[in-house]
Structure 1
């Protein structure tokens, strides 16, 4: 799969890790082209067995400062413009959540509005000390992002964030258990890559199954969710990679996985 010809992103794959960098100066605002590209990128990564983890970050001073409001359709515009726009916006987040491998958001600088939701769509979040999340919709007479925010924030903090449009900084995000780490800005990418390398060293099919379990069981009752997880374990038990992992553990050597 070639990732050449992208306008808004750069993609690098090395050591089973894909680094996806938003590159739409000055603040990686999201327009239709941005959304079409991110969908294509993550759909492709989903189907690439050589990719075992993804790091998503932004070039420059911002992770993503949100939607490009110049492209938002007006209520008096062409019939159907808003449904098409909203469908594309949802897909730009869903592709990250539905990608078969774990996605680590390395949040550098501002993640505002749609940029905040994009970060919250990742599986694991790490932030630089100067990073912040903010949902500014109420400042411009809009609303959105509540469901994504509630997945990561406690109820009071979620309401505070949405209803005040406050900036929640990296150290505060760590205190709230929204991010897994808050590190000096210079250490952000290495921290995210370190997590990606840990994940990439595990049984690939098992990691994909674990992500699938998080997706499927999020809204399930406990017994139904655990029943699904057990079905995943049964399916994995007969795979070549699981046998290799168990044999390597017994033989005290590094396993060699084939994605089978």
Structure 2
């Protein structure tokens, strides 16, 4: 359990996340992921990183229960900083990052995938930000890199999800395959990337990031400010206290 790194083929680093049962990452998990991706990218022998996950889904965001157990704000601050570092690590990785997504990709998962260079998804993959249902805000910056602006807003306000096929139609998913074929498909693409000259592929990654119209780190940090405001006002706690309850059986909202 945790974050592991393997070298399935020359020039390729496979970073795998495994936090059962749904890959909702605790604070330390986000930092482990950030460290693993940055370490892989710094390795001069690596030309592509594949980011994958074990289990039912790719990522379910932060561990809400960890926040509920914390009487103060340490877990919240830790999760926000950890997500910030993990998302940045993927975006700033010195070589291209291919995300292999299966099942649910929610909350923080959108931050990872939205900052990846390429996304390969299984047929059952779904993407969304249920933040408003969990007393949080954020990662609209990254969802906007996956779907058009108005669809991003609709998904954000409703907490609905989009399918891998829908994202394929928008051009943000490279390929959709059976779940059993997901890792092979991601490695096939990574293998093609890894055939390029190592120095040149790193220059290409830096150049493409340099022409990005949105500063993803600053944009996401701006969003996080509203998450802290929601927590200080008490709105976030009121909503988080109903997390896991059946609809209609939560605490009455003001």
TM-score range, shorter chain: 0.7 to 0.9
State the structure with bigger RCO (CA 8 A, min sep 6), 1 or 2: 2
Question: 120, 142, 147: which one pairs with 1:148?
Answer: 142
Tell me, yes or no, if structure 1 residue 30 matches structure 2 residue 25: yes
User: SS of the counterpart of 1:60?
Assistant: coil
1:162-213 Cα shifts (integer Å, max 9, x gaps): 1111121111111122211111222211111111000000111111111101
Matched with 2:159 is: 165
CA distance in 1, matches of 2:208, 2:18: 30
CA distance in 1, matches of 2:170, 2:67: 32
CA distance in 1, matches of 2:62, 2:129: 11
User: SS of the counterpart of 2:155?
Assistant: helix
Matched with 2:212 is: 218
8 Å CA contact 1:73, 1:82 repeated in 2:
no
Question: 16, 19, 25: which one pairs with 2:14?
Answer: 19
User: SS of the counterpart of 1:19?
Assistant: strand
CA distance in 2, matches of 1:185, 1:81: 33
* TM-score between the two structures when normalised by the length of structure 1: 0.76
Which runs of 4 or more aligned residues in structure 1 lie more than 6 Å from their structure 2 counterparts after TM superposition? 73-76
User: What displacement does 1:74 show?
Assistant: 9.1
CA distance in 1, matches of 2:21, 2:152: 28
CA distance in 2, matches of 1:104, 1:191: 10
Matched with 1:186 is: 180
Question: 34, 38, 44: which one pairs with 1:49?
Answer: 44
List runs of 5+ in structure 2 lacking aligned partners: 215-254
Tell me, yes or no, if structure 1 residue 115 matches structure 2 residue 105: no
* TM-score between the two structures when normalised by the length of structure 2: 0.78
1:195-241 Cα shifts (integer Å, max 9, x gaps): 10000001111111111012111138xxxxxxxxxxxxxxxxxxxxx
- Higher mean alpha-carbon deviation, 92-101 vs 178-187, is at 178-187
1:18-59 Cα shifts (integer Å, max 9, x gaps): 111111111111111211211221121121011111111110
CA distance in 2, matches of 1:39, 1:140: 24
Q: Output aligned runs, 1:63-212, within 5 Å.
A: 63-72=58-67, 77=72, 82-212=76-206
8 Å CA contact 2:146, 2:167 repeated in 1:
no
User: What displacement does 1:72 show?
Assistant: 2.9
Larger radius of gyration: 1
> What number of residue pairs does the alignment pair up?
213
User: What displacement does 1:112 show?
Assistant: 0.9
Gap change, CA 1:113 and 1:84, over 3 Å in 2: closer
User: SS of the counterpart of 1:163?
Assistant: helix
CA distance in 1, matches of 2:79, 2:124: 32
CA distance in 1, matches of 2:88, 2:112: 9
